[in-house]
Every structure is written in C-alpha cells, then in structure tokens.
Chains A and B, each alone.
Chain A
Amino acid sequence: MFKFLFSVNPLLKIGISLAIVTIALSLTTLEAVSVLVVVLLILFLTSIRIQVKNAIVIAIALTVFVMFGTWTLNNWQLALFYALRLLAILLPAPVFAFTTSPTDLVRALQAMKLPSFIVLSLMLTWRFLPVIQQESQRILEANQLRGVDLSRRPHLWFSGLFVPLVFRIVSYADEVTIGLETRGYDPNAPRTISKPLTWQAQDTVFTIVSVLVFGIVAHLEL
C-alpha cells in the first residue's frame, strides 16, 4: 500500500479532483485522455487494495462499453475515448474517498469554516455507508445461519433483508445522534482542531506533480 496520498491535505485533494473532472470533460484527443487515465489508474491501484475478481468485472464492463460504443458509433477510437473519459471522471472520487479518513475530512471542512450542520451531516454520511454495508452483511449471514440463502431465493429479500435493514437504519439514525451527543459533540459549540491543517512538503510535491501531469495533458491536447 502506497501511503503518500493519505497524508496529502484533503482540501488540496478535493481541488485537484475537481480540476481533473473539469479537464476530462474538456479533452478531445485520445492521447491526452489516455495519459490522464494512466496516471489516475496508477494512483488508484497503488493506494487502494482491490480484489482481483472485482478488477476483472470492471475490466469486462469497460470492454463491453467500448464494444457497444464501437457498434453504435462505428468508430472504435471515439468509443475508446468516451470510455477513458468516463474513467477519468469517475476515478478521482474513489481515490479521494479511500485515501481520506473521515476525521481528516471533518478537520478540513472545519478549517474552511463551513456551517457546522454540513460538517456534521457529511461526517455521519461517511460513517453511515460502511455501517449499512456491515449491517446488510450481518443480516445476510444471519439468514444463512437460519438455512436461508437469500442469493438463491429473491422472493425472501423483502422479509429477510429489507425489513430488518430498514429497522436497523431507522433505529441507527436515533442511536447515532444519541451516541454523538453523549460524546459531547455540539455542532454549535467551538471545537478544537487537534491536528491543524498545514501546508506540508508532500502537498507541494503533490501540487507540482499534478501541474506537470496537467501540462503534459494540455501539450498533447494542443
């Protein structure tokens, strides 16, 4: 696992991600978008552990996308270009999400002086997604333990999965609010930032490298 991205300032990462998306939308040549995607893929694969199975599924999906595009557009280069542009737009989000801890994000947003309700809702959403995944996993397991294999019996999804999940989500919302308040979190009260966001060497490195990559992309484009 490549730890560099984890230590980069989250605000800088958000800024660069937005820049990548904007650039990807305005690119017109295959070479330029390829360079961008290759760089993003390197970042993606070095900082996120992805299962081989999932990687194969994604690769197949993209191939199908390109083949379908070739069939409808009658131009494989254009189809490949669209596929790569799609990747360039989609990839920054997971790279950012997996390399930024929720605490760092909250600190960054606090430093930006965003209204506290936005910071709070973002933090809870961030925490909520893995919880939903974990809860579904546990409910599926509990079903299996009762001899019900939900993947083979879709007619039981409602009573076996959705009902308990909705129950869990509704009560989770209350539990988490209570939990948050019992930890002393008050959205309206002043709060320390124990690791203040500062501009560090790796941020400078990250900015310079990004600008270089953008330069290469722009050069290929023009």
Chain B
Amino acid sequence: MNELTIENLSFTYAGQPQPALQGINLSVSSGDIVLITGATGSGKSTLLNCLAGIAPQYTAGTLSGEISYQNQSILQWDIKTRSRHLGFLLQNVETQIFTDRVCDEIAFGLENLNLSPEEIPNLTDAALHEFGLTQQRNWTIGQLSAGQKQRLVIACILAMKQPILIMDEPFAYLDRASAAFLLELLKTRSTQGQAIILIEHRLDLVQSVATQTFRLQNQDIITTETTFETPAFSQSDPIILQCQNLSWGGYPVFPDLTLQAGETLLLQGENGCGKTTLLKLISGLLKPTTGTIELLGRPQPRRIVEITRSVGFVLQNPNHQLFAESVKQEVQDNVEMLTRLNLQAQAEQHPRSLSQGQKRRLTLGAVLARRPKICLLDEITVGQDATSLSLMLELLKQFTRSGGAVIVTSHDPQVVDRLNARVIAL
C-alpha cells in the first residue's frame, strides 16, 4: 500500500523566478527506504519542507501538485497534524530539543502523543537503551556532544513510532559505529513496516539499504575534474604545530601532535571523544588544563587574536562565522577564491541568503583568505554533496601545496584518501 504519494509537486519561493522544485513524483510504501540525493541547492531541503508543511506555511512561496498520506491529501494539514503520522528529523537537531535532561527529552515527544503515564517510563528506557544513551540518562543536554545530540533526537523521533520517517542527514555527526548501528535499526524498522525517507550525502553508507533512490537535478550543475596528486612534503619541512601532553576538562590526555607544513591530519574517533575540543584548544578558544602548544616554533600566544594570525578555524555551524554584507566581502574581494568555490554567481548576494552547503564553502574561503598557516576544519563533510565537497577538498589541497597545514575532523572515510591525510585516532 502506498503510504505517501507525491504527485507533480512544484515549489517556487516568493520572489524567485525559477521553481526550486519542479514536477516531483514519488510514491513510498511501507517497508521502503527511499534515498533522496542531489547537489547542494538542488532542493532536497525544500522537498522536506513541503512534506513537513514548513513550506508554504513558514517559508513563503507557491506550492502546486499533491501530497497524500494513505490516499488522503495532507496539503491542508499543519505541521503538528502531519507530525502525528510522519516523523521528522530536521537538519539542525538543536531546534528539536526542548527540555534540559536526556530522559525528559524522550518523554517529551511521548507526552505530546498523550500516551498513558504508565507506558512512558518503559518506552523512554527502551529508547535510551536502544541508542546506547543509558549512561547519559540524567545528563543535561549541554553535556552532550554534537553526535550524541543527533543520536538523542533520532531516538526521540523513533520512539514516537510514526508510520513514516523523514530524516534530513541523520548520519551527519555520527561516527562509524553509531552510523552502522542506526543503519541496522532503520533496516529493522523498515521490515516492521515503517516507511523511511532519507536525505543523505554519505551515499556509501545508505545506498546499500535503499530500496529506491531519487535524484534531484540542479539546473546549473557543474562538474569539476578532481585530480589526485600527492602533495609533496618532506621531513625537512618546518614544523608548524606541536602539542604535548594536552588535556582539558574530563577528557583523557590527547595524543601528542606534530604537524609539518604541507601536511594534512585527520582526527578520528567516536562521538564525544573530544575532537572539537582539541581543535578549540589549538585555536585558543579553550585553554588547556595541562600540556603545551607550540605554533611556528614559539609557544602559543595568550590572546586568541594573535593566535588567529596563524590559525584559521572553520566551525561546524557556518551561521556564526559570516559577518560581511556580501559574499565578495567575506573573502576580501578575492574573486579567484569564489571561482574556485563555485560561488562567483553569488558574489553580490548577502551571505545569509546562501544555502547551508554554500555557506559552509564560503566560510572556508573566508578563513583561507586571511592566509593562515594552519586551517582547522570541524566536520568537513556535514551538509556537503560530492561536488561541493570536491571543491572544498581541492581548495585545501592547494592550500597545503603552498605550505599550509590542515587538521580536519570527519566521519567520512573517503576524506582520508582524497586529502592524503595522516589519521590520528582519539
């Protein structure tokens, strides 16, 4: 039976001449796992917004076509009515967290379903157990890492057991073990009759389980030839960064790092093992409890502003890092940089008007435009499709060839090969 049917769906944002989505047809039956792919800006999020009812209720625009759930049109339903039947995982999970304690958060969704008070503790415990969050049961939300939060919200959504699940990049912040685990869980859920729609860039992970793949086409898609040449660096290159005996907060002592010019380092480890913390220590945002950091052969300066002359940091969320009035200004009018990032068409636009993936590229450009010696990148692949990721990796490679050093964190195994990175396990 067709649980969800999309017929001839089109959506045009207010004030835009071109529709963001055009003539989408898709039918999902129970037990299906549908994978939706497409380049950044091809309308994946728009599709999810149409399904959830966010567009046109919150994002102005015109929608045409039909979306029906069990042969009943849902276009007139608001988000909360749809949420009773369709479970949504949004891209930014922070906005789906409302309580301050892990166990309360799972109970929150169940309370909204008006389940009986006796059922809720059992369901909560089961969900915590299923997602390996039993230890974190009484933690506050603030204590969780990005990956753990992602896991928590997925647990919250799955606990509500709607017949259809729609997830926007559920694997984004998950380490390999958690990702494999979630994949297994989704497979089980689909055999139990849940229909699952996934928007995901990490095709290597999901393609094997998908029963259907739906590709959204971008109007102005570009293909870049990626060349795989090994950046030449030798033992004699100057040492740019040296960390010894570093520790912070409750984390175990971090492994010692030595980074030479032209080198690329990939930090790997499970969710919550301190990858972001280590980057923050190097950039000076956190002060180490013990240990020393040497930059360019000298001790790390005390003031962050001085550290940033040699260290650039691309944060997980690009929204905090864009300040200028136009895309061009962000990269200090470096038009070549924009071309390399395929943002030349947006040069005069306001940075806030870009899509999430474009913003991410722009923050990298903005950081590299300041010519740091080391570039730190947190979760390089999040929100990036293959094309966009290639552009970023190319730019980074050029940066290392010209004597820069790079430290990235990522859960995506392909980054290792493509950047020819040395892997450090935390």
> Chain A: residues with CB nearer than 8 A to chain B?
101-103, 123, 127, 130, 135, 138-139, 141-149, 159-160, 163-164, 167-168, 172, 174-186, 189-196
Q: Which residues of B contact A178 (CB under 8 A)?
A: 52, 54, 58, 79, 90, 95
- 5 tightest CB-CB pairs across the interface, nearest first? A179-B95, A181-B79, A184-B112, A194-B120, A175-B95
**How far in angstroms is the closest Cβ of chain B from A53?**
15
**How far in angstroms is the closest Cβ of chain B from A46?**
19
* 16 A/B residue pairs, CB under 8 Å, sorted by A: A103-B101, A123-B98, A141-B320, A142-B320, A142-B321, A147-B308, A149-B304, A159-B323, A164-B320, A177-B58, A178-B54, A179-B95, A182-B88, A189-B114, A191-B112, A194-B110
Residue of A nearest to B105 (CB): A103
| Contact assessment for A145 and B313 in the assembled complex, using a CB-CB cutoff below 8 Å | yes
Q: Which residues of A contact B121 (CB under 8 A)?
A: 194
**How far in angstroms is the closest Cβ of chain A from B407?**
14
**In the docked arrangement, what's the CA distance between A184 and B109, Å?**
6
Q: Is B80 an interface residue (CB 8 A)?
A: yes
Q: Which residues of B contact A179 (CB under 8 A)?
A: 90, 95-98
Residue of A nearest to B309 (CB): A147
| Contact assessment for A192 and B114 in the assembled complex, using a CB-CB cutoff below 8 Å | yes
Q: Which residues of B contact A190 (CB under 8 A)?
A: 114
Contact with A along B316-357 (1 / 0, CB 8 A): 010111110000000000000000000000000000100000
Given A177-B58, A189-B112, A194-B110, 7 other A-B residues pairs in contact with their CB atoms under 8 A = A101-B100, A139-B320, A149-B305, A164-B323, A179-B90, A184-B113, A193-B117
**How far in angstroms is the closest Cβ of chain A from B27?**
23
Q: Is B129 an interface residue (CB 8 A)?
A: no
**How far in angstroms is the closest Cβ of chain A from B411?**
22
Partner of B308, one of A101, A146, A176: A146
A-B contact count (CB 8 A): 138
Q: Which residues of B contact A148 (CB under 8 A)?
A: 305
Assess A103 versus B323: contact at CB under 8 Å? Given A149-B304, A194-B117.
no
**In the docked arrangement, what's the CA distance between A88 and B99, Å?**
30
Residue of A nearest to B108 (CB): A183
Q: Which residues of A contact B83 (CB under 8 A)?
A: 181-184
Residue of B nearest to A189 (CB): B114
Residue of A nearest to B58 (CB): A174
| Contact assessment for A146 and B370 in the assembled complex, using a CB-CB cutoff below 8 Å | yes
Assess A184 versus B160: contact at CB under 8 Å? Given A141-B285, A178-B95, A179-B96.
yes
Q: Is B154 an interface residue (CB 8 A)?
A: no
**In the docked arrangement, what's the CA distance between A168 and B322, Å?**
12
**In the docked arrangement, what's the CA distance between A144 and B284, Å?**
9
**How far in angstroms is the closest Cβ of chain B from A142?**
4
Residue of B nearest to A156 (CB): B323
| Contact assessment for A192 and B304 in the assembled complex, using a CB-CB cutoff below 8 Å | no
Residue of B nearest to A107 (CB): B111
Which residues of chain B from 42 to 100 have a CB within 8 Å of any chain A CB? 52, 54, 58, 78-80, 83-84, 88, 90, 92, 95-100
| Contact assessment for B100 and A142 in the assembled complex, using a CB-CB cutoff below 8 Å | no
Q: Is B271 an interface residue (CB 8 A)?
A: no
Q: Which residues of A contact B54 (CB under 8 A)?
A: 178
Q: Which residues of B contact A141 (CB under 8 A)?
A: 285, 320
